[in-house]
Structures are given as structure tokens and as C-alpha cells.
Chain A
Amino acid sequence: MLANAIIQIGLFLLLVTAISVPLGHYMARVFAGEKTFLDPLLKPVERLIYRLGGVHPENEQTWVEYAVSMLLFSAAGMLLLYGLERLQGWLPLNPQALGAVAPDLAFNTAASFTTNTNWQAYGGETTMSYLTQMAGLAFHNFVSAAAGIAIAIAVVRGFIRRNSKTIGNFWFDLTRATLWVLLPICVVMALALVWQGVPDNFAPYVRAKTVAGAVQTIAEGPVASQEIIKELGTNGGGFFNANSAHPYENPTPLSNLIEMLAIFAIGASLTHTFGKMVGDSRQGWVLYGVMAILFLTGVAVCTWSEQRGNPMLARAGVNEIASASQSGGNMEGKEVRFGIVDSALFATVTTDTSCGAVNSMHDSYTPLGGFIPLLNMQIGEIIFGGVGSGLYGMLVMAVLAVFIAGLMVGRTPEYLGKKIEGREMKLAMLFILIFPLVILIPAGLAVVLPAGLAGISNPGPHGFSQILYAYTEASANNGSAFAGLNANTGFYNVTLALVMLCGRFLMKVPVLALAGSLAAKRSVPESAGTFPTNGATFVILLIGVILIVAALTFFPADALGPIVEQLAMRHSHLY
């Protein structure tokens, strides 16, 4: 059991590493506009998109223009999705004749998919038509991911450009990310998922006459095409209510492996894209190392806790001990084909990044096992992270780390040849502070307002965890859930939508401003007093800063939820 866990997790990280280096270098070429092997196929499509869209990709933008383009594009897509949801009853590709989505739920879902959160207050197969799923939801899976990558690239340009007013062109970055990165991988891997059993059709739901003589209605749909971008774009919104636990979304351990690799692929690769762009691959490896260490720590704790199981079940006569004929452990909310290891691994992967797809129900995890996904999000989803947002989030933490190092030795801090001064620190701190602000204040409100308390489905400290988890995932744009929380209410739909929008756009704008500010600076030559950021010392410093910031911010809240519940469970206290 232990050997298999170590081999599976080790092999997984090895595969991520093996994919990330070539993919990272490839992306560096894509965003520099250099030649790639896909050019003969994609160049004509790219030109067509620019012509139809009225885009002049050679026009460089300042950070303000870049941010405005990004915001307008997001607003247009959000309106389109809202419209599709409200009108789906009259539109084609709706064999189940599903009616209009209620206004508050439609608003929540539009905000959710525009912000790359993919929080779902609905069940896919009972709410959304095939057209809404593909043209509304899958479209956002692509472009919200592409926009994230675009911004990460713009931020890296801020570090490498000197005395420059501009940081690139949003439309160019967006189109290139979609065409050269997301689409080709999706086409190949979607078919691999179909091979494993993920359906992809436009048929009405199947009525099966079961062996026991009942009727079973089986939901169908264009699942595979949406499934792969849901993982690759770290979106996470399931086609079905049960997300990647549903056998149609994730039928085998092999499809599970493909999905987990897709979740990490781009976030991991961007560290090497970054290394390549700044001309020092070790800078990229430092960030990769920090991420890998935090990932392994999380997955180890989560797997251990889930395998250990729930002592109260053991007392009720349940066998939770792993053997050759069962995985054992805490199997409530988990699938037999994934067992404990693949469930805990998936839960860690999906919350290290801003994905939020789930192949097991986090609400039913042991308190400590469920604390890891929560903590991963509270750290800011920078452990490989959301596509793009993981890299720029980590770069902001790196800026904070060199600042703290500078304070300790009394020198003006530098990072990648750029002086970090007052303006940069203000923007970095704005980025760091908005995040907990839009978690803790609304969560605090929800636990005192009747409308908030009404959503709780598990009594005791777990109920508080459900609320804390909901606002954390919304601000972190994750979208996984302690899904027992009844969140399809006016109160939760509106507050969570606002938190998602703040968590996405109030953080993207300061980070673009930071990029603009850095790009305008000249580069200072390295000197004997420069703190080296491409070695092991910086790895340790960066991990320390990340953990201290998260702990100082969230420990009091966490103590009231998962921490106290873990103590209660070990002492067999029920609620």
C-alpha cells in the first residue's frame, strides 16, 4: 500500500517534470512569435481571427490598455454566457428541453466561468443544455485560461523589458495561447479520453431497462471535448454534477492520470517558460522546486489522513485496513477505481492549481484530509497554480521574499535585475491583501446571517468549514466545494459571484500594474550585494514567506473549522 502510494505519486511528479520542460520552452517560442512546428496549420487560422476580430497584433499596449482589453473581453463573454443560459429553452441542442436558468444562478454561473472559477451551484445534467455547455461553458474554459496565460506572459515581459512603456498585446497573447497551446493538446487528449470511455455525443438521455427490471435514465452529451479543457485550463466545472467522480467524466485510473497531468501541465511548464524568457533557466527551476516541495508535502498529509480513515466507522464494524483486495481508508465520497491514493492525489492537484475538478467529494474527507485542499487554496493557488495565475501569483510572493531579504540586510531589494521599490511593494501587497479580505469578511457575514447559516448541511465545526471553504474557493477561483453546502440560494449565488469577480479582476489589475511599473524601469547590474534568487537559499526563503503569510492570515479561521473537527473526530465526538 505504502509502496504503491509512493510509486504512483513519484511517477506522477516525474511525468509532470518530463512534460513541463519541453512544453515550457515551446510556450516561450509561441509568445515570442517565433517559429513552431504547428505554424503551417495555425498561421492561416491566426490571420483569419485577427481579420474577423479587427485586431492589430503588432500594436503594443501599455499595462492600462492591456488590462482594459482583458476586462472588456471578459465582460462581453460573461454577458454572452448569461444570455445563453437564460435563452437556452428556445435554442437548439437541447434534447432534454431544459428551461431557462434562474437569474441569480445564471449570474453566478456566468461570473464563475468568466473568472476561471467554475464553481457550480447547479448540477450539469439537470440544468444546462448541450449548447450552453459547449458554446457557453467550454468557450469560457478556453478563453479564461488563455487570458490567464496571457497575463502571466505580460508580467514576465515586465521583468525583461527595460525603459519600456508597453507589456505586449492582449489579443495576440490570447489568440496564441488558444491556438498554439490549448487547442492542439485538447484535440489529442479529448480523443484519448474517449478511448478510455468518456462519451461524446449529442444524443438524448438514454432510457435503459435495468437488469433488476427498473428504468435508468442515463445522461449523455458532448463530454470529452469539454472534459479535457476543464482540466488543462484549470477550470474544473464538471459536465455532470459529480464532476470527475462521474464514471462518464473519468472512467478509469488511466483517464484519471491523463486528467491530473492536464491540470498540472501548463502551470508547471510556465515556470520554465519564465526561466527561458528571463534568460536564466535556474530562476524557473527555483519556482518549480518550491512548488514541487509544497505539492509533495500536501499530498503526503492528505493521503495519510484519508488512508487512516474514520475511527468511528471502524468501531461500527467497518474494515478500513488496506489489503490486496480493498483500498480501505475513508471511502465515503470516493470511487472504488481510484481508492485512497488517486483520490487524495487528485484532491491535492486540483487545489494546488485553481482547477477545482473533483474525483471524490471533499466534504466527506477526514478533517485533516480536507484541510489540505483548503490550505492549498489559502496559500493562493501558486503550487503550479492556475494556468498563468499560478506563475504571476508566485512571482508576487518572490517579490515579497526579496523585499523581506532586503530588509534583513538593509539594502534595496532587487529581483531579476529590477529594483523593488515603494510602488512595486504597494501593488504586491494590494494583490496579497485583497485575497483574504474577500474571503474572511463574507465568510464572517455568512456565519452570522440566517441566510448564510441556512446553507449548512453538516452540523458542528464542519458546517463552519463548509462556509469557509466556499468563500476561499471563490476568491481563489478554484470552484471545488464542500458540496453539501446548499449554495443555490439568492444569498450564496450573489455573494459568491461577487467574491469570484473580486478574486479574479481586483487581483489581475494590480499585477498588470506591477508589470507596467517594472517594464518602465532600467535594469541594474548584479553586484556583490545582490541576493541570489536562483539557488537553494531562495527556495527555502520563498517557502518560508509563503507559509508565514498564509498562516498569519488564515490560522484563526482554520482553527475553528478543520483543526477543531480533527480533534473532535479523534475523540469520537459527533455532531
Chain B
Amino acid sequence: MRIWTAIRMTIVLTVLTGIVYPLAIAAAAHALFPWQAEGSLVTSGGTVVGSALIGQNFSAPRYFSGRPSAAGDKGYDAANSGGSNLGPTNKSLITAVAARVHEVRESNPGTVSVPVDLVTASGSGLDPEISIAAADLQIPRVAKARGLDEDTVRKLVRANTERRSLGLFGEPGVNVLMLNLALDRLRSGDRPAGS
């Protein structure tokens, strides 16, 4: 008797909270915010190039690099998110960070101390952003690789910087994918005169 009540309530509440509720939310989400509901996908020339919220691998000097990523084997695997989970006294962490510091200094001559976010893996492995300091550090390299003047690049960095929410919450950051897309668009047409 009591067992039957438990089984019947399990089924009834599964249908309500596990089927009706998520379907209703998905329908309302698509009606109100269709772009976000589909994953904030960004297209270029008709093909999906990524999501505005999800970071990607960039290693060429003409692109701003994102943060190191521990998602998947090659990093930025958006079907296998995660952090490094290296502890603060783990030798592997300190060795890896030191190697990255060296790499940043090699590819960005003149760099002394490196912003911490540029040489540490994010929690998700998909962090779309880098700090303003980490972007500023890369401006000369990107400008040189593209034959642009630094001010042009700096303007694009500022245009792709997210401020704190309501001026208070979180931290400002630069969206690497959107910035690099903007750089590519600049090359294909609207290059400002004099650059």
C-alpha cells in the first residue's frame, strides 16, 4: 500500500519536474531568447565558427592567445570541460607555469612579469576571456604580426572588453574569440587609412 503510493508519486513527480518542466522552459527560452537558448553561436560567412561564450585554441602570433586549458587532450575541448586540478604544492603545477612564463616572454619580448591568468589553467578549460593586463601585453606582438599600428589593435581590445556587471560584480575581461574575429574582419576590408 505505502509502496504503491511511493511508486505512483515517483512517476507523477517525474513527469511534472523531469518532463513537463524542462520542455516548458526550453519552449519559453526559444520564444524569448532564441540566440542564447541555442548556445550563443557565432557564424562567419554562413558557417558556425564557435560560441561567444566558449574559448578556443589560438597559437599563431597574429591572434591573441587565451588561457592555458586542461579541457581534453589538446585543450579547449568543449565536449569535455574541466580544470587541471593541480594542487598548490604540486611540482607539476610550478614547472608548467614556469614553462609558460618562459614561452610568453619569448613570444612577447620586453615582458617582465606575466599576468597570472595568462599562465594558469582556467576552471572550465573553456574560459573565453583573459584579463585586460594579459591582452595589453600581447598588443605589440599582434600589431607587428598584422602590420597594424598598436593603437588600432588597442581600440579593438577595448571594444571587446566586458566590464564588471552593474559596475560591481565579477571582474573585467577581454573576450579572445570575439577580439580575434574583429581583427580578421579588419583585415578583410575596413582597414583604417594610414595603417
Contact = CB atoms under 8 A, between A and B. Distances in A.
Interface of A: 4, 7-8, 11, 45, 49, 52-55, 68-69, 72-73, 75-77, 80, 123, 125-126, 134-136, 138-139, 142-143, 171, 174, 178, 183, 186-187, 190-191, 194-203, 205-212, 214, 216-220, 222, 224-226, 229, 240-242, 245-248, 251-254, 256-257, 309-310, 312-313, 316-320, 323-339, 341-343, 358-361, 363-367, 457-462, 465, 482-484, 565, 568-569, 573-575
Contacts of A11: 168
B195 interface: no
B8 A54 contact: yes
B39 A201 contact: yes
A207 B53 CA distance: 15
A200 B26 contact: yes
B80 interface: yes
Interface string B1-34: 0111111111011101111011011101110110
Contact of B169 (A8, A75, A126, A178): A8
B94 A206 contact: no
A403 B55 CA distance: 56
A565 B87 CA distance: 10
Given A201-B26, A342-B169, A336 B117 contact: yes
Given A253-B165, A318-B114, A336-B131, A246 B126 contact: yes
A484 B82 CA distance: 10
Closest 6 CB pairs of A and B: A253-B170, A484-B85, A245-B123, A339-B171, A135-B18, A458-B87
A252 B40 CA distance: 13
Contacts of A257: 165, 169
Contact of A219 (B78, B89, B101): B78
Contact of B120 (A8, A135, A207, A332): A332
A574 B25 contact: no
Given A135-B14, A191-B25, A210-B49, A326 B122 contact: no
A324 B163 CA distance: 11
A215 B168 CA distance: 36
B80 A123 contact: yes
B14 A458 contact: no
B57 interface: yes
B68 to A, nearest CB: 9
Contact of B89 (A4, A190, A575): A575
A125 B173 CA distance: 26
B171 A54 contact: no
B174 to A, nearest CB: 8
Contacts of B86: 332, 363-364, 458, 484
A299 to B, nearest CB: 15
A209 B47 contact: yes
Contact of A329 (B91, B116, B184): B116
